[in-house]
Amino acid sequence: METKFLHWVATFIPIIFLLDVALSVIADPYRVYHESWLENDYFMIDTRKSSVGIIRNAEFDSIILAASMGQNLSPPEASSALNGLFVNLSMLGSKLVEKSVVLGYTLKNKKIKTAIISLDGIGAYGEVQRSTPLDSSLFLYNDNKVDDIQLYLGFNSIGFLFCGNKLFKQQCPGTSLL
């Protein structure tokens, strides 16, 4: 009896894991592997994770890269005022080291005409805060797309199969219009 149960677990747990990963990549709410298949062009509000998908798939020639205050800057207003096609990649509470990683990845993958960057990672007396630990999503900004699958582990993306598309019209949770 115990061996049958262990055999069943050993067979079906990997199948369920692979199904989770496959469905997450199909939905791909962070656009890590492909452009959005959603009817409305949404992006995930957590820009630490969604910036890589925007960089890979969106059309732009200028960026806004700041901390939380910069998230309120409007890409359409910046585009009209500075004659460019802006996206806002600002990250809540980001330090200079995180911004430098995103900026480096952007410059490596796109030709940038204009960049608006905040320097709000400066600490007391003008010293750069070097002791800030890097965010756990920085694996997205390397050249290895295989390790990006870590973003979709844990059954947290399957719900995106059922929102924002032509069949299911409701807006996806945790998203905003691009």
pLDDT tens track for 105-149 = 999 999 999 999 988 755 544 455 554 445 677 788 888 888 888
**DSSP H helical ranges for the chain:** 2-27, 47-57, 75-82, 96-109
Q: What is the pTM of this model?
A: 0.75
Choose among 23, 26, 62, 68: nearest CA to 47: 68
Tokens 């791909």, residue located: 28
Q: Quick one: DSSP state of residue 128?
A: B
Q: What is the dihedral of CA 25, 166, 45, 84, to 10 degrees?
A: 100
Q: Which of 16-20, 57-61, 144-148 has the lowest mean pLDDT?
A: 16-20
Residue 135 and residue 47 in contact, taking contact as beta carbons nearer than 8 Å: no
d(CA 154, CA 94): 25
Please give the structure tokens belonging to residue 82: 């500075």
Phi, psi (deg, nearest 5) at residue 7? -65, -40
| Of 164 and 144, more confident | 144
